[in-house]
Chains A and B, each alone.
Chain A
């Protein structure tokens, strides 16, 4: 079905919203359209990694329901509260995080274990950010668990982690939708699913306020990089931004089935254009 064309799937940063990629993958699988490489950032890396490791889409959906539950992100890190109230005593270092990451780490490890990038069935690239320099880092070797854990380290919420000699944090800080990696790796058809992150709802807490500001920055970064990638790619770049009727918050794991359906609908919309591109040479 791919007619010899190299297809890359890019899943951008978007926390729980990234589950929409599973809906898209469901449609592609049904149509027999293969993905030749996956590039993912933030929450998208969990689904991207499992897919690249050869898990079936339905298996990933079921794993996600079991592993990514509300309690994963529920526990507050008490030290962070003290750091906020008494910064002179409890100094804010590189590891300031409002949520405790222990359960998340356990669940990620349960899903990914000791698998490495060598275990994938198709090439996998995970996008992260060097916490100290802000440089975009593309991880394509070593432990997948560590790479995923690094790229879900949303600033203020979860702490960055040390991978080899680098302190790595969320990929969205440098590349919210890492299309550049797909271009660099020679993909002809790029299907990129991205997510905007601004909430229109009232902000009731300090963290909501900070996340709103961070959303403004990342959305603008996303738009700027998209302009460039649209010009830079030599072939077809399909960009999908699923539209959610209600605000989806970072920890709304109970909305995952609905999010997957929205992703599926986006996949159906893409299909005629994608098939046309696959049938005719560029």
Chain B
């Protein structure tokens, strides 16, 4: 699994590639915790390269959303693939997370 970010205005775009499971989730948690510690709380996770997420991935998302929101930020998702979207829908995550079709619209919604 690969993870890297880029800054667009005041928003940090985190690009994740690969599967998110119990083995890879800690790396994402560590990465997001680092961003939040640096005061970067407006986050967009680009999921276009994520082909699978387990419950561990869902826990990472939940923790990140709660952490950023408690600091007046948020975490949005973009490019969610159909299989992953299905998991998010079935587990109720689509009712608490905002999902955008592309990075531009997600960044704009932070404005």
Please tell me if B103 contacts chain A, counting CB pairs below 8 Å: no
Please tell me if B37 contacts chain A, counting CB pairs below 8 Å: no
Please tell me if B3 contacts chain A, counting CB pairs below 8 Å: no
Please tell me if A186 contacts chain B, counting CB pairs below 8 Å: yes
Binds A, one of B5-13, B14-22, B44-52, B94-102: B94-102
Name the contact of A184 in the complex, choosing from B62, B66, B67, B98 (C-beta under 8 A): B98
| B70→A282 contact, CB < 8 A | yes
Please tell me if A136 contacts chain B, counting CB pairs below 8 Å: yes
Please tell me if B65 contacts chain A, counting CB pairs below 8 Å: yes
Query: CA of A225 to CA of B66 in the docked complex: distance in angstroms?
Result: 17
| A184→B95 contact, CB < 8 A | yes
| B96→A184 contact, CB < 8 A | yes
Query: CA of A181 to CA of B62 in the docked complex: distance in angstroms?
Result: 15
| B74→A232 contact, CB < 8 A | no
| A235→B69 contact, CB < 8 A | yes
Please tell me if A63 contacts chain B, counting CB pairs below 8 Å: no
| A234→B70 contact, CB < 8 A | yes
Please tell me if A229 contacts chain B, counting CB pairs below 8 Å: yes
Instruction: Give the residues in chain A near B74, CB-CB below 8 Å.
Output: 186
Known: A231-B62, A232-B62. A183 touches B70 (CB 8 A): no
Please tell me if A206 contacts chain B, counting CB pairs below 8 Å: no
Please tell me if A280 contacts chain B, counting CB pairs below 8 Å: no
Name the contact of B97 in the complex, choosing from A175, A184, A231 (C-beta under 8 A): A184
Query: CA of A228 to CA of B95 in the docked complex: distance in angstroms?
Result: 10
CB nearest to B63 among chain A residues? A234
Query: CA of A181 to CA of B95 in the docked complex: distance in angstroms?
Result: 7
Query: CA of A183 to CA of B65 in the docked complex: distance in angstroms?
Result: 10
Interface size on A, residues (CB 8 A): 16
CB nearest to B95 among chain A residues? A180
Interface size on B, residues (CB 8 A): 12
Instruction: Give the residues in chain A near B98, CB-CB below 8 Å.
Output: 184
Closest chain A CB from B68 CB (angstroms): 8
Closest chain A CB from B10 CB (angstroms): 16
Contact digits for B48-92, partner A, Cβ 8 Å, 1 yes 0 no = 000000000000001001110110001000000000000000001
CB nearest to B89 among chain A residues? A135
Instruction: Give the residues in chain B near A234, CB-CB below 8 Å.
Output: 65-67, 69-70
Instruction: Give the residues in chain A near B62, CB-CB below 8 Å.
Output: 231-232
Contact digits for A225-242, partner B, Cβ 8 Å, 1 yes 0 no = 100110111110000000
Query: CA of A232 to CA of B97 in the docked complex: distance in angstroms?
Result: 10
Closest chain B CB from A22 CB (angstroms): 26
| B70→A136 contact, CB < 8 A | no
Known: A231-B62, A232-B62, A234-B65. A180 touches B70 (CB 8 A): no
Query: CA of A225 to CA of B96 in the docked complex: distance in angstroms?
Result: 11
Query: CA of A157 to CA of B73 in the docked complex: distance in angstroms?
Result: 43
Known: A180-B95, A183-B95, A234-B69. 10 other contacts (CB 8 A): A181-B95, A183-B96, A184-B96, A184-B98, A186-B74, A231-B62, A232-B96, A234-B65, A234-B67, A234-B70
Residues of B within 8 A of A (CB): 62, 65-67, 69-70, 74, 92, 95-98
Could you pull out 23 A-B pairs where Cβ atoms are within 8 angstroms?
A: A175-B95, A180-B92, A180-B95, A180-B96, A184-B95, A184-B97, A184-B98, A186-B74, A225-B92, A228-B92, A229-B96, A232-B62, A232-B66, A232-B96, A233-B66, A234-B65, A234-B66, A234-B67, A234-B69, A234-B70, A235-B69, A235-B70, A282-B70
